[in-house]
């Protein structure tokens, strides 16, 4: 297996707040699927590979996995069982090939922080991160910051400000911290930096309630 790039490990030495990736089982298959998604974009139609054969091969794997899968309702109940951190979300989830994944750590100051380098799948403007991808990373990071602070909820409002383009292919620092809790209203802020340049800021209002877990 390819070892994750070192720059995707946060500089912080605080506790890891999102799921650990295993080196085998579904996490290993998902990590390979991520590399495949990037490889498809890097290759495009210009590669020498027989892409119809690749499609058939991938479909065969997908069919085999789906045949062995439990009903969705059962899988949903399993996903949300217990008190552990989720393993399936599209930002940090080791079981989700959409997730870069972003690895978030708690800091001593009560904030959360992670470092991630994004490749072509996350592109918006030429050579830069899609504004909506920055929103996705920040929404999730603010949610984890609320968990870390001890009072979490669902996003009610999120405002992103794009100060400068966010580059692909270089380490980005994503941070979040809870600002205030007033009754059920939680205010949380975060940002994405490239080096010491702030690229995107986020301000979120969260409401302290949760959807019921499937059972």
Q: How far apart are CA 194 and CA 169, in angstroms?
A: 11
Q: Give min distance, CB of 102 to a second copy, in A.
A: 11
Q: How far apart are CA 25 and CA 8, in angstroms?
A: 21
Q: Give min distance, CB of 164 to a second copy, in A.
A: 10
Give the one residue of 15, 20, 64, 185 binding a second copy; rule: CB under 8 A: 64
Q: Is residue 167 involved in binding a second copy (CB under 8 A)?
A: no
Q: Is residue 85 involved in binding a second copy (CB under 8 A)?
A: no
Give the one residue of 10, 19, 30, 149 binding a second copy; rule: CB under 8 A: 30
Q: How far apart are CA 135 and CA 159, in angstroms?
A: 9
In the complex with a second copy, which residue's Cβ is closer, 106 or 143? 143
With beta carbons less than 8 A apart as the criterion, state whether 107 and 115 touch. no
Q: What is the dihedral of CA 118, 121, 122, 125, to 10 degrees?
A: 110
Site for a second copy in 183-212 (CB under 8 A): 210-212
Compute how many residues bind a second copy; rule: CB under 8 A.
92
């Amino acid at each position: 297996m390819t070892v994750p790039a070192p720059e995707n490990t946060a500089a912080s030495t605080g506790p890891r707040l999102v799921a650990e990736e295993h080196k085998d089982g579904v996490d290993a298959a998902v990590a390979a699927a991520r590399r495949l998604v990037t490889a498809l974009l890097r290759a495009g139609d210009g590669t020498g590979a027989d892409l119809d054969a690749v499609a058939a091969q991938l479909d065969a794997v997908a069919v085999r996995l789906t045949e062995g899968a439990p009903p969705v309702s059962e899988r949903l109940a399993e996903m949300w069982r217990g008190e552990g951190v989720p393993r399936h979300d599209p930002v940090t989830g080791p079981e989700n090939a959409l997730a870069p994944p972003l690895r978030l750590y708690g800091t001593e100051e009560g904030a959360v922080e992670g470092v991630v380098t994004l490749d072509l799948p996350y592109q918006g403007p030429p050579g830069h991160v899609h504004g909506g991808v920055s929103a996705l990373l920040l929404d999730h990071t603010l949610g984890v910051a609320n968990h870390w602070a001890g009072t979490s909820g669902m996003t009610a409002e999120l405002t992103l400000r794009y100060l400068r383009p966010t580059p692909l292919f270089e380490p980005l620092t994503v941070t979040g911290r809870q600002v205030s809790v007033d009754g059920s209203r939680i205010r949380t802020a975060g940002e994405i930096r490239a080096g010491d340049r702030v690229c995107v800021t986020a301000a979120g209002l969260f409401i302290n309630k949760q959807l019921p877990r499937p059972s």
